[in-house]
Structure 1
Amino acid sequence: MLAQKRRIFVSFDHDDTDQVNGFLGLRNITDGFEFFNHKLDHRVSSNDVDYVCRVIRDEYINPASVTVVLIGNRTAQSDWVRWEVQESLKQGKGILGIRLPGTNGQVPDGIPQNAVGVWNPEKFGKWIEWAYQNRKS
């Protein structure tokens, strides 16, 4: 019997979009996971912060089982990433930080140090499952 497909919300700073696209391109090597994020979805483009937060929460974070935060040099300073991590924790989602290659930024608040890994695509599936199993639901 196949395990339930894990839905992964991907949080990142917009400065890291090129590397995030590379990460999302790897999704074919991790069967059993469905990756999605809002920053590459132009439907969320709006100047109405309340509207954007509602759409992100309702359409992206709510249905996710795990939030993966891709950590670049400025990710910890992003108000959006901070809000997405807080909302994910509030909802009891699994949380995982993955450092992007060649970066050395701080880990955003709310991500436990034992839930942060360095870029290693061969381990992504195992880490995501670990985050799911260790969520606070």
Structure 2
Amino acid sequence: MAKNLIPEIAKMLGVELNEEFKIKGYEEWFYKFDNDRVLMFKHNDDVKMPVAPVSVYVAFLALLRGECEIIKLPWKPKKGDVYFTFELLGGKWVVRSFWWGGFPNEYALLDKGWVYRTKEEAEAALPKVATEIGVKYEL
């Protein structure tokens, strides 16, 4: 039996398994790799509508040939995921971790682009954000 290469192909293309992405030129569709296939679908009122496999394979081959490129989507945590953002502590902004609960204030942070998957991403973003809003920060 041959080895399943989908996880390695996803990694080579810069996406993780089950991470949704778009393809330049086909932005109305969403794509993702699961462990054994490529999926293509549209979102319609939070319902994912799958697409015929032939369309998926055409896009997949175009990616493999370098005819298209992946458009990474901003990361959106799921309930219970750890995320990193900024918090005011002792008069300075610092990077802190939280568990995603799906609360309105968290969606406001997400819309602003202030929700990060890793501490390093948040620390890299903090100086620019602090400069933009004119506050002191601490790493």
Q: Identify whether the pair has TM-score above 0.5, normalized to the shorter chain.
A: no
Higher relative contact order (CA 8 A, sep 6+): 1
Higher helix share: 1
TM normalised by structure 1 equals 0.25
